[in-house]
Amino acid sequence: MFIKILLSLFISLQLFAIPLEEGTKIESAIKELYEKSYQDIKINKISIHSRGSVKSFDSSYDVNIKESSSLSKKGIIYIRTENNKKIFFDYVIDAEVSVYFTRKTIEKGAELSTLNTIKKSIPLDKFRFMPIRESDLNGSQSKNQLRENQIITLKDIESVILVKRGENVSVKIDDEEVSISLSGEALKDGRLGDIITVKKSDGKQLKVRVIGQNRVEIR
């Protein structure tokens, strides 16, 4: 997937694998991607070099950069001119990002919190998967066992199970005039927003949506 930013700027540059001047729209596109990807990032410098010989740019062109490029400090960006020509550039971004580490070994299914994680600022180098943000901590648990002092990524977490199979849950039924609560047995695990089935005491089954700890509502 590419982020496309339409640029209308007349630029005429003589380039042959030389650094691009700071403050260009290409640099702005790189900066925008990384600031969007990381909640806390301090960008010190962005270096951009052209690939090969480029005599000039058209007056209007698109800048294209993959969203996955933000996993690394090095990447490739290209512009597409009005005559559909692609011009490629290599870039390196010198930056520091805030990530979450495990304070200790975290067992599979353990809820994440400030008690078992710690936030640190590190130089951006290269990640296999995107590190979690502060907002990702709330209501999350580990998918697998995490070792001590490990960077926590989005691949390592999942939403906390709020309803477990076989447990009794409170079922909320709302209409325009009355609100009713009853109990039922969950027939499967459920996370926030999941649609699951519960069985009432009379054996009737209902489709419900998980809204909290052992709480569900009629769809």
Same domain for 78 and 36, yes or no, is: yes
- Which pLDDT band, with edges at 50, 70 and 90, does 24 fall under? confident
Letter for the amino acid at 145? Answer: Q
Same domain for 112 and 89, yes or no, is: no
Same domain for 6 and 84, yes or no, is: yes
pLDDT at 17: 40
Residue 28, SS3 per DSSP: helix
- Which CATH number fits the domain that encloses residue 197? 2.30.30.760
Same domain for 130 and 188, yes or no, is: no
- Which CATH number fits the domain that encloses residue 116? 3.90.1210.10
Same domain for 70 and 18, yes or no, is: yes
Tell me phi and psi for residue 213, to 5 degrees: -65, 110
Query: Across all residues in the chain, what is the average pLDDT?
Result: 85
Same domain for 91 and 107, yes or no, is: no
Averaged pLDDT for residues 69-97: 91
Each residue's pLDDT tens digit, 161-219: 899 999 999 998 877 666 778 889 999 999 888 999 999 989 999 999 999 889 999 86
- In this predicted structure, the answer to whether residue 16 has a pLDDT above a threshold of 70 is no
- In this predicted structure, the answer to whether residue 47 has a pLDDT above a threshold of 90 is yes
DSSP conformation class of 67: G
Q: How far apart are CA 218 and CA 204, in angstroms?
A: 13
pLDDT at 55: 57
Same domain for 148 and 184, yes or no, is: no
Please give the tally of structural domains in the chain. Answer: 3
Q: For residue 169, which of 217, 219, 109, 203 has the smallest C-alpha distance? A: 217
Q: Which domain holds residue 89?
A: 2-95
- In this predicted structure, the answer to whether residue 8 has a pLDDT above a threshold of 50 is no
Half-sphere exposure of 53 (CA within 13 A, CB side): 1
Same domain for 88 and 61, yes or no, is: yes
- Which pLDDT band, with edges at 50, 70 and 90, does 51 fall under? confident
Q: How far apart are CA 219 and CA 26, in angstroms?
A: 47
Same domain for 23 and 85, yes or no, is: yes
Same domain for 70 and 6, yes or no, is: yes
Q: How far apart are CA 92 and CA 45, in angstroms?
A: 8
C-alpha distances (whole Å) from 154 to each of 2, 60, 105, 215 are 21, 37, 17, 26
- Which pLDDT band, with edges at 50, 70 and 90, does 79 fall under? confident
Averaged pLDDT for residues 108-113: 94
Of the three residues 61, 95, 129, the one that is the final residue of a domain is: 95
- The pair of structure tokens assigned to 3 is 């982020």
CA 175, distance to chain mean position in Å, is 36
Half-sphere exposure of 136 (CA within 13 A, CB side): 18
Of the three residues 111, 136, 159, the one that is the final residue of a domain is: 159
Pairing of strands 168-174, 190-191: unpaired
Each residue's pLDDT tens digit, 133-159: 998 988 899 999 999 999 999 999 999
Same domain for 13 and 61, yes or no, is: yes
Same domain for 105 and 174, yes or no, is: no
pLDDT at 73: 97
Of the three residues 113, 132, 159, the one that is the final residue of a domain is: 159
pLDDT at 54: 61
More confident residue, 202 or 16: 202
Q: Count CB-CB contacts under 10 A for residue 172.
A: 17
pLDDT at 218: 86
